[in-house]
A and B are shown apart, each in its own frame.
Chain A
Amino acid sequence: MKYVRFLIMGVLFGIVLSKGEIISWYRIQEMFRFQSFHMYGVIGSAVVFGILTIQFIKRTGLKDYHGNPISVATQEPGYARNLIGGTIFGLGWAITGACPGPLFILVGHQGWVFILAILGAVAGTFTYGLLQRYLMH
């Protein structure tokens, strides 16, 4: 039962990205052609509110639901992997018109067709796991 709250947050996230048209292939095309402010507004305002939220958490020592101070995990820095991996990700993003969140939302939207894209993504992740030691990070 303790997982139900995550299910509900997922439902909210799915609805927000659908109603905000972030899952639309056309909106991603528009973004990569710099022809509308929409996607920049979505990501930009999420980041601005995100920065304010995290600064508030850090400065006030806000407690989580257990009563412990909230810790914000920091990812390992890795410039080469971020640039190369990010570029490969971007190539895929412009084809599917969907990053991982929208891929799942589109299963709810379009049905099983997008399970194929998720299978592709799982295969890509698996391939990375196999090749990891040979890649520059």
Chain B
Amino acid sequence: MQQPWPWWVAGPLIAYVMFSLLYYGKGFGISTNFKTVCCMLGSCKVSDFFCFNWKDQIWNLMFIAGVVIGGFIASHYLTPDMAVNISPQTVSDLQEIGIANPGASYLPEEIFGAENVWSLRSLVFLLGGGFLVGFGTRYANGCTSGHAISGLSNLQWWSLVAVAGFFIGGLAMTHFILPYLISL
């Protein structure tokens, strides 16, 4: 329980979560919650895209509330050692582009640590990265849970197109743009 879980534990459990939601009549899709928040904040006035009854999504808001709690429980009670055993090649590649201690904890503290947040670099990573995630996922009509897990499980070939897109974007960012963002 205190050790990191291998992929063959985590992957099947993710499929189990998808099944539980289906069993209770719901579809697995996390990014829909961003749209629901827009709707709740009154965005219906400016775009019909946000005109729907957000109360139908209360279950999903409860789900993400649980997700936050799960993250809190895991980090505070189940993970005594935050080091992540990433590949030595990744460690040296990341050191080369300016990350001080790759794998020392879950995230690079120089970017995501609370004490460093009010820097241009951290705001680009959080607000800018978040913006692309939110825009892209709605444009693609789904994120990793909706397309990569649910969509591929349902053998929807257009979900494979979306996953190919995830990788085109992710590879371009990682190999061509990220070094510049880290040096901000």
Q: Cβ of A61 < 8 Å from any Cβ of B?
A: no
Interface of A, secondary structure class, is helix
Interface of B, secondary structure class, is helix
* Chain A residue at minimal CB-CB distance from B137: A89
Complex: A90 Cα to B170 Cα, angstroms: 4
Using a CB-CB cutoff of 8 Å, which residues 39-76 of chain A contact chain B?
A: 39-51, 53-54, 57, 64-66, 70, 72-76
Measured CB to CB, the closest approach of chain A to B75, in angstroms, equals 4
A85 touches B71 (CB 8 A): no
B75 touches A41 (CB 8 A): no
**CB neighbours of A99 from chain B (8 A):** 30, 133, 137, 143-145
Instruction: Say which residue of B18, B30, B86, B151 sits within 8 Å of A27 (CB atoms).
Output: B86
Measured CB to CB, the closest approach of chain A to B184, in angstroms, equals 11
Complex: A20 Cα to B7 Cα, angstroms: 7
Using CB atoms and an 8 Å cutoff, list the residues of chain B in contact with chain A: 4-27, 30-31, 33-35, 37-38, 43, 46-47, 49-50, 58-60, 62-75, 78-79, 84, 86-87, 89-90, 93-94, 102-103, 106-108, 111-114, 117, 123-159, 161-175, 177-178, 181
Using CB atoms and an 8 Å cutoff, list the residues of chain A in contact with chain B: 3-33, 35-51, 53-54, 57, 64-66, 70, 72-79, 81-101, 103-114, 116-130, 132, 135
